[in-house]
């Protein structure tokens, strides 16, 4: 089997296991917090940041006011807003500092993390843990570095988008109308 096919099969199997451990109760809490927030701010470093940006785009398509922390046009966070931070280790200094600042401002913090006992998870009002630890000999070749966490986070948040669509009575047609026209 080619490395490509072997990797795809491996990723699908592992991500299914990782996401299967996420509780429906946590997803319900997450959606309630998102729906209650005045505005949603997302953050992540590296590839986790790309996942955060993708989620922010979908939130905008759903009609939320969503921003990416660190972008030049991002407004200041205020009471009533929500900050969602993605970090595999839960120890990335900018991510932990972002949570500290948000908490000091009395803003709700959601963390999507790979480590349940991480600093970021402990600082969050809600931590969704995607434990991507596996000790098999294939991981380093088929899903190097943070691949399992990042891919799981992307799929998790796309599933949250589907849940939010149902809760808001949104359709793909409505979302298309909010899609950027200049790209």
Active site amino acids: 150
Q: Which residues on adjacent β-strands are paired with residue 128?
A: 112
Between the two ends of the chain, the Cα-to-Cα distance in Å is 38
Task: Name, in order, each residue with C-beta under 8 angstroms of 121's C-beta and a sequence gap of 6 or more.
Answer: 90, 111, 113, 115, 127, 129
Residue 86: closest CA among 51, 35, 133: 51
CB 148 within 8 A of CB 121: no
Task: Name, in order, each residue with C-beta under 8 angstroms of 62's C-beta and a sequence gap of 6 or more.
Answer: 161, 164, 165, 168, 170, 175, 178
- What distance in Å separates the CA atoms of residue 35 and residue 27, rounded to the nearest whole number? 12
| Phi, psi values for residue 151, rounded to 5° | -65, -40
């Amino acid at each position: 089997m080619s490395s490509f096919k072997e990797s795809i099969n491996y990723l699908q199997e592992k991500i299914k296991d990782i996401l299967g451990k996420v509780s429906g109760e946590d997803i319900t809490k997450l959606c309630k917090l998102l729906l209650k927030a005045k505005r949603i701010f997302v953050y992540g470093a590296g590839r986790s940041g790309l996942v955060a940006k993708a989620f922010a785009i979908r939130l905008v398509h759903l009609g939320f006011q969503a921003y990416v922390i660190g972008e030049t046009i991002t407004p200041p966070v205020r009471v009533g807003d929500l900050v969602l931070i993605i970090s595999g280790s839960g120890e990335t200094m900018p991510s932990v500092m972002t949570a500290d600042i948000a908490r000091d401002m009395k803003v709700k913090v959601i963390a999507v993390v790979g480590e349940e006992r991480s600093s970021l998870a402990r600082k969050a009002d809600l931590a969704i843990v995607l434990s991507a630890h596996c000790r098999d000999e294939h991981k380093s070749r088929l899903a190097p570095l943070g691949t399992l966490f990042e891919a799981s986070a992307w799929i998790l948040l796309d599933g949250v988008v589907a849940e939010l669509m149902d809760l808001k009575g949104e359709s793909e047609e409505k979302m298309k109308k909010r899609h950027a026209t200049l790209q």
